[in-house]
Structure 1
Amino acid sequence: MKGKIEVNQNTENKDSNNNHHHHHSHNQQHSRHEHSHEEKHTHHEHSHPEKQNQSEHSHNHTHHSHAEHKDQSHHNHHAHHGHMIEDFKRRFWISLIVTIPILFLSPMIQMFLNVDWRFPYDSYILFGLASFVFFYGGWPFLTGARDELRQKQPGMMTLIALAIVVAYVYSVMATFGLTEGDFYWELATLIDIMLLGHWIEMKSIMGASRALEELVQLMPSEAHLLKDNGEIIDIQIKELKEGDLVLVKPGEKLPVDGKITDGNSTIDESMLTGESVPIEKGVGDQAIGGSINGEGSLTIRVEKTGESTYLSQVINLVKEAQETKSKTQDLSNRAAKWLFYLAVGAGIVTLVIWLLLGYPFSFALERMVTVMIISCPHALGLAAPLVVAVSTAISAKKGLLIRNRAHFENARNITGVVFDKTGTLTKGEFGVTNLLTENGFTDEQVLQLAASLESKSQHPIADGIVKEAHTRNLKLSHVHDFKSLTGKGLEGIIAGRHIMVVSPGYVKNENIQFNQSHFNEWSSEGKTVVFVLVNRSLVGMIALADIIRESAKIAIHKLKDMGIKSYMLTGDNQKVANYVAKQLDMDDVIAEVLPHQKSEKIEGLQKEGLKIAMTGDGVNDAPALVKADLGIAVGAGTDVAIESADVILVNSNPEDVVNIVKLSKATYKKMIQNLWWAAGYNIIAIPLAAGVLYNAGIVLSPALGAVLMSLSTIIVAINAKTLKI
């Protein structure tokens, strides 16, 4: 799939900051929300013809360039949605005001209040006011029902429409003397409550879907293009081409993804990565479009435009994730449809039974109307989507990008986690682990000399030594006559002395004596050893190894507490693997595995009856990620690994594996609770509305039924909001 996260390319250079990560998450949250909102509408699509168009509308624009996306789809989508919220709000308030005289004119309400305000022709005024509420307030439900029936997908709107039409027709007949007693006040209050419910529901959805729009607005629309002759012109971002040079002034937003070719500055990437501290960047560093430039001026060479930018990829990824429907959601959508059939069936049965028992038609009809109102499965339609929206918002904040919802929902059953070693349990960068000094030199002196020399080199080992010197606040010295000896090491003159940092091979060739036992011990643990010579005599040995992530230790400990086993899967030799596993206290080590054998090893564990989550970051991990019950890609990994995964850890933090399992468990629990709240309410309310306890004097009126129904919707919404890990 084009533009599926090329995160790694933006991120490799930043692996050390490990922050690009929340970026994804951030957007994800946004766009996912937008979807949950759209998803919900597909459920109620029919409910409002406009809604459906709007839903299609936003989909049509999914694959346009960023700018278009921003200008068209989002603008219309939100303007339209906002307009609909206003429409429901207006209909609600106007209907509510008209309902007040309806209540006072209704004979039944007067009876309750023990007053008599009857006057000639009052029933016609009542008829007029109620007709207004029916046509004006009830219009969205009537048109919604028409659309649902056209699509042969009866649902919520059809149910509400059925109830209000039956109530209205029956009451009109009463006004003109064809039946006894009217339902006008129940009709008006029912419409008011339904309008209020829809207005609240749409408002909450709108709140959730604004996030993606904000995300798209992160990108500025213009850039300062630097021409070859030094002239600066302002052009639209969509006109930029790869390789163009763009000037970013202090305080401006970066218009594109690219490499800094000139200037130094601090860049605030918090909107994208969640990293609160601005990062210092200079020539050669990667910059992400949408982040905010600090004090300095920067020149950036454009590397990615339009659909291939980091931001666009995140949005696409999120869209794709939203389109994988969750299993529990499908369950609730199916339940809503069956509830409609149940409601119609129960309504007809109620009517027939009361008539057979010899009760008047008006009474039987009232029971039938009540049953149909009660059955409206508003809460059910919201049960799963609201939980999905909340859980994706949480996962996004935590830097977990969910690509496959069904697999994520099953993560609650995981019993074993397999970790790839390099880059997942370890940082994939060298750090100094041991120092041995000779000839009266101190650790600091040896490290200071080695780091001064290594600071001239680009090698990963050099980075490790220089970093250690910085950590210990050592001042580096000036080096003269620096030379890199291919395959052997480095040499140079510092303060008049000849300094060398060389490999074990060089020391052996020159027959220089060194501490063999330490050297052998360190080598067996998979460490790299370098030797420091001053005027050709040995003054120290420095051992470096791939640094173990502190977070990996914590993660494995937490998994143990949850009863989940942890395994290390690596191509490294058994000794090195055992050394790392021992430090991490892992359950088992599978070492010296060739890339193509990784998925076989996963299969082996599955055959033992374990539900396996696999965490990896390399091309060789991809088949294993697909084979596992849950594939987790570490964000700084390769495209292929990310393509194959179900969940992506934006922060390359092994602790997030624990968060996935916890969030999956919590999400599932909330969904099931919500489905029970929504459907369970109907199980109790329908028989009450049908009049099962009529002899005991308990009868549910249509208005009370509507109040209870709205209440169950509110409970479901509040319950979803309380989801946390």
Structure 2
Amino acid sequence: MTQARFIVDGMHCGSCTGTVERTLLAQPGVSEASANLMAHSAQVSFTAPATPAALAKALADAGYPVSAAHLRLDVTGMSCASCVSHVEDALLATPGVLDATVNLATGSADVHYAQGSVAPSELVKAVEATGYGASVASADAPPPPLAERQAEEAHRLRRNVVLSVALTLPVFVLAMGGHMVPAFHHWMMHSLGERTVWGIEFVLTALVLAFPGRMFLTIGIPALLRGKPEMNSLVALGALAAFLYSTVVTLAPGLLPEADREVYFEAAAVIVTLILVGRWLEARAKGRAGEAISRLVALRPATARVRRGETAVELPVAELAPGDVVELAPGERIAVDGVVIEGEGHVDESMLTGEPLPAAKAPGAAITGGTVNGAAALAFRVTATGGDTVLARIIGLVEEAQGQKLPVQALVDKVTRIFVPTVMALSVLTFGLWLLAGQGFTPALIAAISVMIIACPCAMGLATPVSILVGTGRAAELGLLFRRGDALQRLAEVRTIAFDKTGTLTEGRPELVTLIPVPGATEAEALALAAGAEARSEHPLARAIVRAAEAKGIAPLPARRVRAEAGRGLHAEVGGAPVVLGNARAMEEAGIDISALRAAAEAEAREGRTPVYLARSGALVALMAIADPVKPGAAETVKAIRALGAEVAMISGDTQTTAEAVARGLGIGKVIAGVLPEGKVEAVAALKSAGAVAFVGDGINDAPALAAADVGLAIGSGTDVAIEAAEVVLMGADPEGAVRALRISRAVMRNIRENLFWAFAYNAALIPVAMGVLRPFGGPGLSPMLAAGAMAFSSVFVVSNALRLRRVK
């Protein structure tokens, strides 16, 4: 199964996305197709005989050409015609490539590919896989990102709006000025005459339709002729009907009864102008909706200072390579990922993790491109560049999530698929009913035009994707990466959030928390003995004892003849004396009396800590208690989740006593302990009986549970396996990210419901008004100009409402 992603800029409303999906699904070999209006993209899964080029042609034939990009590659190593065919075959086999031509004489390859489906670096790798060298020719640049295309679209629409307003304003003044100022009407009729006024309106309106309004005609009319009308078809029909009728009145009035000789040039011009204004405002708003990605992209500096021998040279970031040593000045933004090799300081990582406090960095610490160095000068070795950096992967994940469809979108798709044909049928019905009611041809035509213009499938098509776009972008700024857009909806519906204990609610690194020496012994003596015995052990409890001694500046005593006993502890000779370090069973087997500290050990165990006895020469020396400290903010996280109406559970592989002790301290009532990795899957399944379950974890052993939950949330400091198994990544190590994710998912879903309510309610309420159902009861109707204004406002309202998500805290 091959997957490809096409950028389809010709989609303008919900019915367009339905047409694109049906066109793709109709092609042999296509199994899945999903179009996204907000991202102007189409995702398709296919096998032979389908090819990217064939799919692109099918979309172009349907009136929705894919946005294609051109790239030139410099290819080395070719020596004959077979080399050319090998390279061409490799490129054409790459998903998303539409055409590839290789020139042996120039050593180059011209590639045309579907924008958004494949990256230039992937094309280079495809050529290199055949044994030839390849690089992107510097003359060509990669295609602009979505944010830039939206900015260009807004700029183009602004030019059309300015031109359309300039042409429409005289038409509106000539047509409506006389109604508002009778003296102006008398002056026009006396000085210009009615026929001249109509002639001027005809010319200006024709210019409006021919230039700024041409987009509606060139897209809408062909779609109508193909039997697949969409939003532009409605606008084109409405404006053309008003224009053509008025043209007949102006140029051939004898064809119509005298009572019907009225012109509506101003309606045609104003319809186009108002809808262009709406499209422009919508494009501007959509540009702001995608600002989160633009801000992430802007985090990448253009240059960096790279060491070359004893000096440092300024190089473009694109030329950095793994292994380069980069010097960082105080306050400088970090260019790419790396590892600190010189200096100590702090780095502000808030723009990636959402964590407000700067992170401490010392030699050996990893740093991330896009973050900001603090007050210290640092040097780091580059570990990843280009698309391999954390920032690039984050941008990719966010863009992928923004192109996803939520389950709630299925209903919208069903409605928009039949919406435009239904509106056209209602328009014809309105015309017929008005004629039958004896209202006359002209009023019937105006009512029919109003029905076509008032309908707004754009609002329905934008309701869901624009909220996803803004919501996932805002989530990224808060350190939350939704790897799948539908996780937004499922997370908002969860009733229980289950946490793994170790590494998620706790630090995942045991620490010595209590040391009780017997009378006559000291803490320093006990630590020196214990650290000496454990110095060579990699066991987590042993490392906790060694770290405690190092923190107090206590040197471990020399040890030899160290012998570990699984499940008990160890025996060693430390400082020339036999030492036993372990649990109660180890002490009993060694014949050591622990009664003096048994009560204290039992108390520590009840608190979820691990008691460890220390004895020397057969006599008890001290009791140590080791525990995995709870992360700061874990208790507040549990409290906040409960305040949001969700239950909290904890799943752990620890003993029931230890797990329950931690849960008590955090305020968690439901504990499932003593489970193996596969047992966590069963525990998640059991919790699902009370509703949807989200699981938060960080380790390799959490991956099955993350995948089994309705929504998996991986702590970003965890392993790659856990992150790959989760739908949501919490970039920080703080479990509070789960609260932020829950809040923003609910905010996005609430916003989507508001948008959908508006979109459906708007059309359900105003289409009947445009048809004139209120007229028999003395109520108002709608003129085409008012209908155009209302329709334009509808889309702008939906996008503006979604923009409120940028302020989610």
TM-score (norm 1): 0.81
Residue matched to 2:18: none
Residue matched to 2:653: 571
Contact 1:447 1:469 in 2 (8 A): no
CA offset at residue 571 of structure 1? Answer: 1.9
Matches of residues 575-724 of structure 1 in structure 2 within 5 Å? 575-606=657-688, 608-695=689-776, 696=778, 698-723=780-805, 724=808
SS of alignment partner, residue 593 of structure 1: coil
Contact 2:430 2:448 in 1 (8 A): yes
Alpha-carbon distance change, 625 to 446 in structure 1, aligned in 2, over 3 angstroms: same
Question: Structure 2: how far apart are the matches of 1:589 and 1:411?
Answer: 21
Alpha-carbon distance change, 645 to 481 in structure 1, aligned in 2, over 3 angstroms: closer
The percent identity for this pair of structures is: 31
CA offset at residue 613 of structure 1? Answer: 2.0
Question: Structure 2: how far apart are the matches of 1:413 and 1:543?
Answer: 41
Question: Structure 1: how far apart are the matches of 2:303 and 2:208?
Answer: 50
SS of alignment partner, residue 174 of structure 1: helix
CA offset at residue 48 of structure 1? Answer: 10
Alpha-carbon distance change, 605 to 87 in structure 1, aligned in 2, over 3 angstroms: closer
- AA aligned opposite 1:167: A
Question: Structure 1: how far apart are the matches of 2:513 and 2:553?
Answer: 23
Residue matched to 1:164: 239
| Residues 44-92 of structure 1, C-alpha deviations (whole Å, 9 max, x = no match) | x999979956899651454648998999446475555433322211221
Question: Structure 2: how far apart are the matches of 1:575 and 1:433?
Answer: 18
Range moving further from structure 2, 279-288 or 427-436: 427-436
Question: Structure 1: how far apart are the matches of 2:456 and 2:601?
Answer: 76
CA offset at residue 615 of structure 1? Answer: 2.1
Contact 2:231 2:458 in 1 (8 A): yes
Residue matched to 1:59: 116
Residue matched to 1:113: 181
Residue matched to 1:547: 629
CA offset at residue 194 of structure 1? Answer: 0.7
Total equivalences in the alignment: 680
Contact 1:402 1:646 in 2 (8 A): yes
Question: Structure 2: how far apart are the matches of 1:48 and 1:206?
Answer: 25
CA offset at residue 196 of structure 1? Answer: 0.7
Contact 1:430 1:461 in 2 (8 A): yes
Structure 2 unaligned segments of length 5 or more: list them.
2-34, 44-58, 70-95, 97-112, 125-134, 565-569
Residue matched to 1:155: 230
The structure whose residues are more often helix, as a share, is: 1
Alpha-carbon distance change, 245 to 79 in structure 1, aligned in 2, over 3 angstroms: closer
Question: Structure 2: how far apart are the matches of 1:426 and 1:673?
Answer: 39
Bigger RCO of structures 1 and 2 (CA < 8 A, at least 6 apart) = 1
Alpha-carbon distance change, 667 to 212 in structure 1, aligned in 2, over 3 angstroms: closer
Matches of residues 210-249 of structure 1 in structure 2 within 5 Å? 210-226=291-307, 236-249=316-329
Is 1:173 the counterpart of 2:253 in the alignment?
no
Residue matched to 1:94: 163
Matches of residues 339-488 of structure 1 in structure 2 within 5 Å? 339-439=419-519, 476-477=552-553, 479=555
Question: Structure 2: how far apart are the matches of 1:576 and 1:638?
Answer: 24
SS of alignment partner, residue 211 of structure 2: helix
From 297, 312, 323, the equivalent of 2:392 is: 312
RMSD over equivalenced CA pairs, Å = 4.3
Residue matched to 2:51: none
Contact 2:503 2:698 in 1 (8 A): yes
TM-score (norm 2): 0.73
Alpha-carbon distance change, 73 to 586 in structure 1, aligned in 2, over 3 angstroms: same
| Residues 124-171 of structure 1, C-alpha deviations (whole Å, 9 max, x = no match) | 112111211222221122223256458865322121111111111111
Question: Structure 1: how far apart are the matches of 2:580 and 2:383?
Answer: 37
Question: Structure 2: how far apart are the matches of 1:345 and 1:200?
Answer: 30
Question: Structure 2: how far apart are the matches of 1:711 and 1:288?
Answer: 43
Range moving further from structure 2, 152-161 or 61-70: 61-70
Is 1:193 the counterpart of 2:274 in the alignment?
yes
Residue matched to 1:85: 154
Alpha-carbon distance change, 223 to 301 in structure 1, aligned in 2, over 3 angstroms: same
Structure 1 unaligned segments of length 5 or more: list them.
2-34
Range moving further from structure 2, 538-547 or 302-311: 538-547
CA offset at residue 206 of structure 1? Answer: 1.6
| Residues 160-196 of structure 1, C-alpha deviations (whole Å, 9 max, x = no match) | 1111111111111111114411111111221111111
SS of alignment partner, residue 515 of structure 1: helix
Contact 1:446 1:540 in 2 (8 A): no
Alpha-carbon distance change, 686 to 451 in structure 1, aligned in 2, over 3 angstroms: farther
CA offset at residue 372 of structure 1? Answer: 0.5
